[in-house]
Structure 1
C-alpha cells in the first residue's frame, strides 16, 4: 500500500512562514502546525493543524510543523531539509500509511462559509451531511490530496473576491473565469454556482486534475479542467484567479496577465504579507492596476483591474 513521508519540522517561530512555504513548495499537500490552542486536532487546511495533544516546547519562540511527501520523494525531502537547515529548522521523519493520513484529513475538515450581502458560499467535505439553508450556495469537495478545501485563508479570500465581483455588477454579461492552479477546482466550481457562463481550471499536477474533475461531477458543475500550462492557454477571460505561491506568481506574471481581458479582473492569492509588494510590482509592470487587497493573518490576496485600453 502506498504511503506518505511525514515530516516534523521544528525551529524559530519567527521563521515559521518561510518554513511553511518551503514545505509547500517541496510538494506537501498540507502543512500542519502543532499548538496547544484547542482541545482536539483540527485541520484548518493547507497550512495549519491545530492539535493540543502535540508535544509543544514551552518556549513560545519555537514552532513545530508537520508536512507530507509521497513515498519515494527522498530527493525532495533532502532538498527541503537543506533549505530548512539554512533558517535553523531541524527535520525528523516517519512513515505514514495512506489510510492513516486519509482518516486524519477527514476528521479535521469542517464546512467553511464565505458570506456577503445575504449570500453565503459554503464549502464542505462530501461526507458532511448538513443541509443547505436559505441564501447558501453549497459546494461539496472531496479534497483527496489536492489543495483547496476552502478552509485556508488564501482560498477564502479568493472566494470573497469572486463573490464581490459577481455581486457588485463589475462583470460583463455571461462572464468567463480562468482558475490557474485549480487544485480541488473549488474556485471554478464556485464561479459556476454564482452564474459565470464558463469556468476553466488549469493545473500541472495530475492528482489535482483528477480531484478537480471528480469534484466538478459531484457538484454537477460544467467546469473544464485542463492540464494545459498557463503559457499555452488560449483566449482571454473576464476574471483570472491564481492561488499559487508568490514565487510562481512573479515568474508567471506575463502569461497570467495576458489571459485577462481588457477591463477584466485578476485575483492573486497564496501571497505571504511580506511578499505582496514584489507581487504587486511584477503585475503593475504588466499594466495591471491594483484596486483591492484582502488580508488574513500572514496571508494577502490582491485584486487587479486590467485597463480597457490595455493591449
Structure 2
C-alpha cells in the first residue's frame, strides 16, 4: 500500500519551538467546553442519533448493536413525524452563513466505520431519502484495506468502501481518530494525566492528521467533522481540532442540541446512543422525538 502524503500543513511531524508556542496559546485559550445554551434558549432543536454496528441478529453481542429492521423502523418513524436528516457539514454551513435549518432537523450518525453500515444502512437511507455521517477509525480501515474481510460481524470499511459511500451523496465521512479508539494508555482523545501541553498537542494532531492524510490520499476526502472516541474529551482538544480545520465536533453527551446563530454550539454537539432491544417508539419518546 502506498504511503500517504502529509496532511496539509498541520498533520504529521510537528516540530519546532514555534509549534510548541502555538500549542500553548491554543490550549490556554479554552478552559471549558462550549455551552450551546450559553447564548440563550432560542433556536432550533436538533437531536442526533448515534449508531454503531448493524447486524441481523442484534443479540449476537454488545448492547449497542442494532438490526437493519430497527434502523428501518427508526427511519420510518423520523420520516413519518416530519424530520429531515441533514449532515454535520450542512449544519456548519447553515450556522456559519446564516442559513435556515429545516423545521424538524435530525442528524443520523454511525461510529467506528463498520462494513455493515454499507451493507445494510445505505440502502435504507436511499429508501427513506435520509442522510448520515459515518465516523471512521483510520487504523481499522487501513487494516481491512490491506486484507479485506467481508464478515459483517466485525469487518470495517475499506478505502474503496468509504469512497463508494461518499460518492452516494448521502454519506459524510467523519474522523474518529487513527489509533485513539481505545481506553488505554490514553482514554480516547483525552489528555493524559501529567502530559505536557506540547506533548498532548503533538499526539492529537499527529493521530488525527494521519487519518486525514489517509482519507485524502485514498478517498479524496478531507473530513470537517470529528467524533470523539468513546466521548472522552479534554477542553484543550477544541482549539486544536478547530485549528486543524474541523467545523463540527461530536460528543457522546446525551442531550438535544439547540441551534441558533452562535457557531460555538457546533463544537460540543450531543448525541443519543441507540441501544438494541428497545422499541423505536420508546427510544424516540425517551429522547423527545414525537
TM over 0.5: no
Q: Which has the higher contact order (CA 8 A, sep 6+)?
A: 2
What TM-score results when the alignment is normalised by the length of structure 1? 0.28
Greater share of helix residues, 1 or 2? Answer: 2
What TM-score results when the alignment is normalised by the length of structure 2? 0.30
